[in-house]
Chains A and B, each alone.
Chain A
Amino acid sequence: MTPHRTFPELIRLQAKRIAELGSPAVAGLYDLTGQRLVRFATTITRNQHDAEDAVASALLRIISDPENFTRANHPWPYLLQVVRNDALQILRRKKRWSLAKFVLGGSLSDLICREQVDGLELREVSERVWGGLRQLPTEQSEIVVLKIWEELTFQEIAWTLGIPAPTAASRYRYGIAKLTEILGADVREFIHES
């Protein structure tokens, strides 16, 4: 019977496989992390197409130097950091910073959405959350995403983003407060229903 492994342990396992078997072993890493990396990168680039470019470039960077990835004390934050760097680089290259920030603020037309089995309502709610996240400054939305979706501790977020942990915590607080404002009406509805 295979022992139950945590997500970071599975990442470490994939890192070892890449170091041992070479480039084609990246398939396992992609299957494990692809969706998470794309959604994280999308919060930075504000565009899924660019986010996928960043993920592809980051994974190729990982396989070209698997030793660093294998040696990383925290491989999942390390991988997120590589993706983030590539996402920021793509943003800089395309000079979309301002465009992403101000023009595409609330638009979700770039997103490829899953067919929700739970129905249309949940999809609408999710889209509102994505819209709300896009209205936050990137430095807040990326922390909200890392904290809630990736379940990183503030210390891990601090490593990933290269900022002090208290800064990460306060940005998260501001982000959630702003998101509460944006989604306020929905939330009150949600609380009432539950």
Chain B
Amino acid sequence: MNPEVPVFEDFDGGNQRGSIEDRVRQAGNLIVPSETLRGRILEEARRKHRDEGSDRMLMRFGFALLLASLSVLLALRSNDSRWQERLRPVTSEVLLERAEALGGDSQMQQSEALAMAYDEWRMNLSSNGWGSQSSHRGNSARMQSSNRE
């Protein structure tokens, strides 16, 4: 720290100055803060603290939500690509072609061949974890019985 700047070298009446300073010093304790000031500041500080806490929590929650959404999105994308690559969605044309191929070999009725083609596709789905075996069997049985009728 720099040395104190000298003052009052040219100020006469040192006694008077000294007594003024003393009196000002004594008057320093005259006023007190109002009783509510401390409470006001503390309340505001606590509110600020609470707000900061909830802001932090909200931020963490938002971050967790973002991560969860991202992982769900990634899972959906990989599922979709798996579907597209390995189990291309069947169209009526594909089923008809397959039914014709099956019907041509064994002279079966067209509806029965169509049911078999559909059955085949469902089997493929089930073996790759899509759809349930029981529903596939149920559908197949229903189709076959309706064909016989």
Chain A residues in the interface with B (C-beta under 8 A):
22-24, 26-27, 30-31, 34-35, 38-39, 42, 48, 52, 55-56, 59-60, 63-64, 111-114, 116, 122-123, 125-127, 129-130, 133, 144, 148-149, 153-156, 165-166, 168-170, 172-173, 176-177, 179-180, 183, 186-187, 190-191, 194
Contact = CB atoms under 8 A, between A and B. Distances in A.
Question: How many interface residues does chain B have, given as a range?
Answer: 35 or more
Specify the main secondary structure of chain A where it touches its partner.
helix
Given A122-B26, A125-B26, A126-B27, 8 more contacts: A23-B45, A42-B31, A56-B40, A127-B27, A129-B30, A154-B5, A156-B1, A176-B17
Q: Which 7 residue pairs are nearest across A and B when measured between Cβ atoms?
A: A129-B27, A126-B27, A23-B49, A126-B30, A23-B45, A169-B7, A154-B5
* Chain B residues touching A, majority SS: helix
A153 B4 contact: yes
B46 interface: yes
A24 B45 CA distance: 6
Contact of A38 (B19, B27, B31): B31
A24 B24 contact: no
